[in-house]
Amino acid sequence: MTSRCFLFSDKAIPRRGNIRSNQQYPKKQKEIKTMKKHSIKLTALVLALVLVAALALTGCGSKSDDGSSDAPVIQIAVPNDTTNEARALLLLQDNGIIKLADGAGITATKNDIVENPYNVEIVETEAAQIPNILQDVDYAVINSNYAINAGLNPVTDSLVIEGSSSAYANILAVKEGNESSDKVKALVAALESQQVVDYINEKYDGSVVSTVENPTDGFDASVDYDALSGETISVAASPTPHAEILEVVKTILAEKNITLDIQVYNDYVVPNTVVEDGTTDANYFQHQPYLDDFNNENGTHIVSVGAIHVEPMGLYGGKQTTLDALSAK
């Protein structure tokens, strides 16, 4: 057999049928260049849109035509229950921090804010938990009872505080129909006593303010105290200042051999439910707007028998220690 030698160069030998003339390449290359140009333009367009979106987001802090601000967001925590949130928002409005829609009153929410010059973000939080998150927000509006419980002095530690003429006086409340019972009348007389007024003034030094205009000597002449001797009156209350104030009441009633059972709760629901179901004679923890809202939402039948004191709501500093962030436009 005759052998044959094949010499291969280092260049690939194109197969038959795949050979294309060089004249075809310029057209293909032109198409590729065109595609690259379109791709570059598309990429540039996408980048431009991303940049515009980023600027729009960062631009939420600059001044706009409606008076809102594009300054850095300032977080203010407020109670999340209807009446106390409205109360907090009204406090912020009274101090020029926000403006609410006309007619927004004791049921106002953050949705009623129509002017927000300092770019405030309202952080709705359970009232009892606000002191625990104070360090995580710029400011917080706190009910005085929770502020005192957290070691804050509403008079010296708050940056802004309600006046003593606040419409949110804390009340003694009972089940409707029991207002005229001797137990309730004896409790009211003791709670509206001069002893209690003096205790509030001395103990709280302005952070809790008595609203009793005509203090009693602790007793009601129309009550048959002999018949109540040996009886127990139960009251559901918040720890501070309500349960503390009731300790004074306890000593007054003890003079007539009446025992006061002070039941301490840390929430705003159970004190009303135990009065509604008759488990407890009265409660002392809430203001009238809250009670009205609670009755409407829950179909309960609880009524006030006396306004005892006001706990001015205050604005406290968290990350911010002064009002400077809310004063420079």
pLDDT digit string, tens, across residues 57-79: 444 434 444 445 566 899 999 99
With respect to residue 238, please indicate whether it lies within any of the assigned structural domains.
yes
3-state class (DSSP) for residue 187: helix
With respect to residue 45, please indicate whether it lies within any of the assigned structural domains.
no
Q: pLDDT value at position 166? A: 72
Decide: residue 245, CB within 10 A, 0-12 exposed, 13-18 middle, 19+ buried: buried
Q: pLDDT value at position 141? A: 98
Decide: residue 10, CB within 10 A, 0-12 exposed, 13-18 middle, 19+ buried: exposed
The total of structural domains in the chain comes to 2
With respect to residue 12, please indicate whether it lies within any of the assigned structural domains.
no
Residue 136: give its domain's CATH number.
3.40.190.10
Strands (DSSP E) contained in 99-203 are 99-100, 113-115, 120-125, 139-142, 160-161, 169-175
Check: CB of residue 88 under 8 Å from CB of residue 142: no
The string of pLDDT tens digits covering residues 139-175 is 999 999 899 989 999 999 999 999 766 779 999 999 9
Helix 182-191 to helix 244-254 angle (10° resolution) is: 120
Q: pLDDT value at position 34? A: 56
Let me know whether 225 and 268 are in one domain.
Answer: yes
Q: How confident is the model at residue 18 (pLDDT cuts 50, 70, 90)?
A: very low
What's the domain range around 99? 74-163+314-326
Q: How confident is the model at residue 107 (pLDDT cuts 50, 70, 90)?
A: confident
Q: Is the pTM of this model over 0.85?
A: no
With respect to residue 19, please indicate whether it lies within any of the assigned structural domains.
no
CA-CA distance, 4 to 28, in Å (whole number)? 40
Let me know whether 217 and 263 are in one domain.
Answer: yes
Q: How confident is the model at residue 205 (pLDDT cuts 50, 70, 90)?
A: confident
With respect to residue 23, please indicate whether it lies within any of the assigned structural domains.
no
Let me know whether 226 and 157 are in one domain.
Answer: no
With respect to residue 87, please indicate whether it lies within any of the assigned structural domains.
yes
Let me know whether 207 and 154 are in one domain.
Answer: no
The string of pLDDT tens digits covering residues 271-321 is 999 999 999 999 999 999 999 999 999 999 999 999 999 999 999 999 999
Catalogue the long-range contacts made by 110-113 (C-beta closer than 8 Å, 24 or more residues apart): 110/78, 110/85, 113/89
φ, ψ for residue 125 (rounded to 5)?
A: -140, 150
